[in-house]
Amino acid sequence: MQDVEGKIAFITGGASGIGLGMAIAFVNAGMNVVISDFRRDHLEESTAYFKKKNLENNTHHLRLDVTNRDAFVRAADEAEGKFGKVHVLCNNAGMGILGPVKQAKFDDWDWALEVMIGGVVNGIQTFLPRILKHGEGGHIVTTSSMGGVIPLAGSPIYSTVKAGVVGMCEAMRGELAEENIGVSAFCPGPVSTNIHEVGLMRPEKYKKDSGYAEKEQALSDRPKFSNEMSIEECGERVLRGIRRNDLYIFTHREFREGVAERMGAMLASFPNEEINRERAKEFAFLTSNPIFRQVIEAAGRS
């Protein structure tokens, strides 16, 4: 989707942080954007921001709990009623749920899975049929994290969901390319967001059996890093990734060696033995995915 002017985007978790950065970049590129969010205060702040910029006619704000499937359908109807056909879906809603596995309880796992896996599924199941129906092509961006590519100790829940959406994007990529729909796994590094306010976002139903209350309070009091990327720059990188149809959208060069180290660890762990040629031939459809070769070839041409 190199030509994004006049196209419509729908962003979950779009009223602050990375989602707001996406919205700013998209509007500046001539798109109309539906900004959905769970937090009313963020919606009010985002509405005021675009009104101050005289861009309120290019945005539409609505409250959405991404775990509510019926509400997602109503939000999609409202988006189409406001601007027309949606071309870009950004599954961005999430939270920075961190803590050691030995302290985790069911509410911690359930909340993360329901929002950052279930919410993504709900977005795809709601919007993909509509994008396929209008036949004009489109793009789906799902926000993962560098934590989904380089899992760290103390983040088993967060790393699980973020790694899961990377695999989902990789699996969808080849299939939807046939429909002129791009798919990107967005893996940002540290960005100036409200990710530390995870405790403010946790619903009451996920507070009874949680082992992370103290951790979330500590996160809320944590000062921001001094070298975090701005949301505006982050949003521009997402926009560039959509235009280039990137499978992976990375924001920070500083993580490259860590990713290479992880891939090297995987390669080093394979059995050191000769390939069983008959088995390799029989299961050739399982042993590689052409999308990876395409990414490498595209990088070589750029």
Q: How far is CA 218 from the centre of its chain?
A: 25
Task: Say if residues 137 and 180 touch (Cβ distance below 8 Å).
Answer: yes
User: What are the domain boundaries of the chain?
Assistant: 8-260
Q: List CB contacts of 3: < 8 A, sequence separation 6 or more.
A: none
Cα(185)–Cα(48) distance, integer angstroms: 30
For position 221, what pLDDT does the model report? 66
Share of residues in the chain with pLDDT > 90 (%):
86
Cα(49)–Cα(67) distance, integer angstroms: 27
Q: How far is CA 87 from the centre of its chain?
A: 16
For position 276, what pLDDT does the model report? 96
For position 23, what pLDDT does the model report? 98
Between 301 and 32, the more confident residue is: 32
Cα angle value 197/200/201 (rounded, 5°): 95
Q: What predicted TM-score, i.e. pTM, was given to this entire model?
A: 0.94
Q: List CB contacts of 83: < 8 A, sequence separation 6 or more.
A: 8, 32, 34, 60
Task: Say if residues 194 and 219 touch (Cβ distance below 8 Å).
Answer: no
For position 192, what pLDDT does the model report? 87
Mean pLDDT (whole number) for 61-78: 98
Task: Give the domain 8-260 fold.
Answer: Rossmann fold (3.40.50)
pLDDT band at residue 196, thresholds of 50, 70 and 90? Answer: low
248 token code pair: 């992976």
128 token code pair: 């993909």
In whole numbers, what is the pLDDT of the chain averaged over residues? 94
**Residues with catalytic roles:** 158
Quick one: how many helices (H) and strands (E) in the chain? 13, 7
Q: How many other C-beta atoms are found inside a 10 Å radius of the C-beta of residue 270?
A: 7
